[in-house]
Structure 1
Amino acid sequence: MRFEEPDGQNRWDSPLIPIGYDDKQLPFDTIWEAIVLKKGPKPNHATVMKPAVGTNFLQELDKNTTMVVNEIVQYQNLGNPVGGEVLVRNVKGDGEQYRVIMPAHSVSIAQLQRMRRTYVSLNRMRNVESGRIVPLFVEYLNHAFEHES
C-alpha cells in the first residue's frame, strides 16, 4: 500500500520511459527500441531449459539395474566359479553384451541391492539415455568390485 516513484536505475523499472500526461508526442522510437530491439539477458542457470527427461526414465533405470543384479545372482546360484565373468546383455540400445568381472569372493544379494540402490540414487537426477544405463551400471559394478577386493 505504499507508492515508490519509478527509478530507471532499478532493474525492475528498466527501461523507464517517462511520459507526461500533457505530452502531445509519444516517444515511439524509444518504446520500439526498448521492446523489440533490446537484446535479452545472457542465458544462465535459471533461464536455460533443461532437456526433457523421458517420463519413464526412473522405471527404465530401476528395471535395467534390477536385471543386471538378477543376472549376477543367477550366475552365483548356478555354482559358477568365484571370480568369473558374468555376461549381461543390453536390452536397450546396441544389444551388446557387457562383462561384470566378479570379485574373488561371492557377493551377497544384500550387497548387490545396496550397490544398485546407490547407483540409482546417484543417477536419479542425471540425464542418461536408456541405452547407456546397463553399460554404465556394469562399469560402476566393476569399479566397486575392483576396489572391494
Structure 2
Amino acid sequence: MPLVTVCGVPCSGKTRRAVAIRTAIDAYLQAHADAYAGWTTVLVGEITHDRQRAQDYVHAADEKRVRGALLSHVERALQPKTIVVCDGLNFIKGFRYQLYCVARALGTTTATVFCAAPPAAARAVNAARDRASERWPDAVLDDLVNRFEEPNGMNRWDAPLFMLLPDDPLPEAELVAALLDRAPPKPNLSTVVKAAAPSDYIGQVDRDLLSVMQAVAAACGAASLGGVLPEAIPVPLTDVPVHPRGRPYTLMELRRLKRQFTQMNQRLTQSDRHQLVADFVAFLNIQHRD
C-alpha cells in the first residue's frame, strides 16, 4: 500500500513525472515478480467534473471539494499489494499531512516527489500550450504559485523528499527503495482500530480468574490439612506461578484481590487471555506479603 505524493505548481511536469514513476515501479514489480506477485500500481489524479481544471481553483469552496475528492480517491486506492501514485498540485502542506496520516494509519510507507520547476518556466510552458482549454489563466496560475507551500524533507509527512528540476532524471532505485525497503512509520495509537472483543469476553475473563483462584485455594487447602505449602503454585493459562511466601492464601483474601484487580482494570481490554492471567498472578504475588 505505499503512497507516492507528487506535488508542484501548475505546468511543472507533475503528470509526466507521475506517469514515469508508475512506469518505473511497474517495471520493478515485473522484474521481481517472485517477491511481488499480485502487486499493482495505481495512478490517482484530480477529478475536474467535465470543466476546465483551472476553474476548480478560482473559488475556495471548489478547491476544497477537489482536495476532498482526491483524498477519498487515495483512501479507496490504498489496498494491499497496491502502490498508489497521487498526481495533483498537493500544494498545501496540511493536505500532504492528511495524505501521510491516511497511509500511516494503514501501516505503509510514503514518499514525496516535488517537481521544482521555476515559476517562470511554468508560466512559459503554460503560455506555449496550443489549446486554450489546457492553459491556466494567468491570475489563477500566479495565485497558486504564490500560495504554494514547498515540501520540506525535515517534516515527517514530506520525507523522504525527492526534489526534481524539469531536466533531472528520475531516481528510480532510490524511490523504489524508499517505498519497499523501508519500515513504515508507527501508527498513532489514538487512531489504531482495535479488534472487537467477543460478546462473552467479560464472562470468559471472570472464569479465567476463578480458575486461578481455585488452583491457589486447592493448594493452600491441602497444606492446611497437613500437607506442605509449595513455594510456587502452578495455575492455568500461564507459566507464571503464584508464590505464597510461606503463608497460605485464604479464600476471603483471594476474593478481595480478584475484586481489586477487576476494579483496577474495569475495561479489561487486554485481548490476550494468557497475558491477562499473568497480570493477575503478578498482582496476587505483589499484594500477598508476609
Matched-pair contact (CA < 8 Å) for 2:242–2:281: yes
- Cα deviation for residue 65 of structure 1 reads 0.7
Equivalenced residues, count? 113
Matched-pair contact (CA < 8 Å) for 1:53–1:127: no
Matched-pair contact (CA < 8 Å) for 1:84–1:101: yes
Residue 77 (structure 2) pairs with residue 77 (structure 1): no
Q: Distance in 2 between matches of 1:50 and 1:120?
A: 24
1:123-134 equivalence runs, <5 A: 123-128=265-270, 129-134=272-277
Q: SS at 2:254's partner residue? A: helix
Matched-pair contact (CA < 8 Å) for 2:56–2:66: no
Match of 1:138 in 2: 281
Change (3 A) 1:36 1:131: farther
Matched-pair contact (CA < 8 Å) for 2:219–2:229: no
Matched-pair contact (CA < 8 Å) for 2:215–2:235: yes
Residue 150 (structure 2) pairs with residue 120 (structure 1): no
Q: Distance in 2 between matches of 1:59 and 1:122?
A: 17
1:40-119 equivalence runs, <5 A: 48=191, 51-54=194-197, 55-79=199-223, 80-82=227-229, 84-90=231-237, 96-119=238-261
- Cα deviation for residue 69 of structure 1 reads 0.4
Change (3 A) 1:63 1:36: farther
Deviations 1:58-117 (A, max 9, x none): 112211111000101111122243462111131xxxxx5321001322221111001011
Q: Distance in 1 between matches of 2:255 and 2:67?
A: 57
Matched-pair contact (CA < 8 Å) for 1:61–1:120: no
| Identical-residue share of aligned pairs (%) | 14
Match of 2:64 in 1: 34
Q: SS at 2:235's partner residue? A: strand
Q: Distance in 2 between matches of 1:121 and 1:136?
A: 14
The TM-score normalised by the length of structure 1 is: 0.62
What is the CA RMSD across the aligned residues, in angstroms?
Answer: 2.8
Change (3 A) 1:62 1:28: same
Instruction: Provide structure 2 residue ranges, at least 5 long, that are not aligned to the other structure.
Output: 1-54, 69-94, 102-189
Change (3 A) 1:113 1:36: farther
